[in-house]
Structure 1
Amino acid sequence: MNQLMEISVNYNTTNQQRVRITSHKEAYELIIKNWNLNIIEFQEECKVILMNKGNFVLGIFDVSKGGIDSSVVDIRIILAVALKCNATQLILVHNHPSGSLTPSNSDKNITEKLSKACDLLNLTLLDHLIITRNDYYSLNKEDNFL
């Protein structure tokens, strides 16, 4: 008999407090508390905040860790995790170790691709935040991108 591997998404319910995000500023405040600030200016990372329809946070998923100026964002992995945990809304977040908050063309392209992929699965990409230790840039707010 063949055994197939199954993706497992675990919920840590030790902290029963339900967090609700209603703005990009609240998203930044939540994510910065959950970021390793020792490497925020050294290594690029990408995370996704997974939420339900009521904007309550289901969890934060570590998408990737990269190098000094890039990290791989695999849309298929993001969507697989979102579907597995019944998320309906997402906020993509990554840091710029350089300290610059200006989105690159690559940042804009991945945002557009993820937004289109979410639409196909009836998910909503609410925002894409670029963060540094002390500030953030919202592609939704600044560029009216989403």
Structure 2
Amino acid sequence: MEKQVFKVSEIEISYRPAFKLSERPKVTSSNIAYSILDQSWDHNKMELLEEFKVLLLNRQNRVLGVLNVAQGGFSEVMIDPKVVFSAALKACASGIILSHNHPSSELSPSEADIRLTRKMLEGGKLLGIEVLDHIIVSAYGYYSFGDEGMM
């Protein structure tokens, strides 16, 4: 009996941190998370395009990196949770902080924002990755789901 040969691709997972643990900022509040996220935003586009980013954190809430997930139009950005969680798993993140901007500068969350946050919380529980906050950023400040008791 002859063995059948299958052609399959090899999958390799790697993460190469660029900084020592002691050099990574530690997130202890929404204000610190906002400050880190604010540095990663292109302020020339903040009031033009909606973008979605995620802070990846280790067990001590030190930042492993900022993930640029998606860029959309003026009124929405489409998010695939698989992209967020696959990157979090690849980086061995224990926690994540979701964030996106509202080009209108309105900081109140929309119903879509609330639904997405709930969906991400459920996915995080399943994978053992804590979704710590969802921060809406604008050129004029931020809104924290965590600070408002919505997590």
TM-score normalized by the length of structure 2 = 0.89
Instruction: Please tell me whether residue 13 in structure 1 is matched to residue 19 in structure 2.
Output: yes
Match of 1:61 in 2: 67
Question: How high is the sequence identity, in percent, across the aligned residues?
Answer: 36
2:133 aligned with 1:127: yes
Q: 5 Å matches for 1:60-99?
A: 60-99=66-105
Are 2:56 and 1:50 equivalent residues in the alignment?
yes
How far 1:5 sits from its partner (Å)?
5.4
Specify the code of the residue in structure 2 equivalent to 1:145: M
Do the aligned residues in 1 keep the contact of 2:105 with 2:140 (CA within 8 Å)?
no
In structure 1, how many angstroms separate the alpha carbons of the residues matched to 2:95 and 2:65?
11
Q: 1:140 offset after TM fit, Å?
A: 1.4
| Segment drifting more, 96-105 vs 4-13 | 4-13
Gaps of 5+ in 1: none
Q: Report the 3-state secondary structure (helix = DSSP H, G, I; strand = E; otherwise coil) of the residue aligned with 2:41.
A: coil
Letter in 1 for 2:150: F
Specify the alignment match of 2:4 in structure 1: none
Distance in 1 (CA, whole Å) between partners of 2:12 and 2:104 is: 38
What TM-score, normalized by structure 1, do the two folds share?
A: 0.92
Q: 2:110 aligns with which of 104, 118, 126?
A: 104
- Do residues 145 (structure 1) and 150 (structure 2) align? yes
Contact 1:9 1:81 in 2 (8 A): no
Structure 1 Cα separation of the partners of residues 16 and 77 of structure 2: 24
- CA RMSD between the two structures: 1.8
Pick the aligned partner of 1:117 from 101, 123, 126: 123
Task: Give the count of matched residue pairs.
Answer: 145
Cα separation, 2, equivalents of 1:65 and 1:13: 26
Where does residue 3 of structure 2 map in the other structure?
A: none
Whole-Å separation in 2 of the counterparts to 1:68 and 1:10:
34
Give yes or no for contact 1:115–1:125 (8 Å, CA) kept in 2.
yes
Q: CA deviation at 1:71?
A: 0.5
* SS class of match (1:43): coil
Alpha-carbon shift at residue 134 of structure 1 (Å):
2.1
In structure 2, stretches of 5+ residues that fail to align are 1-6
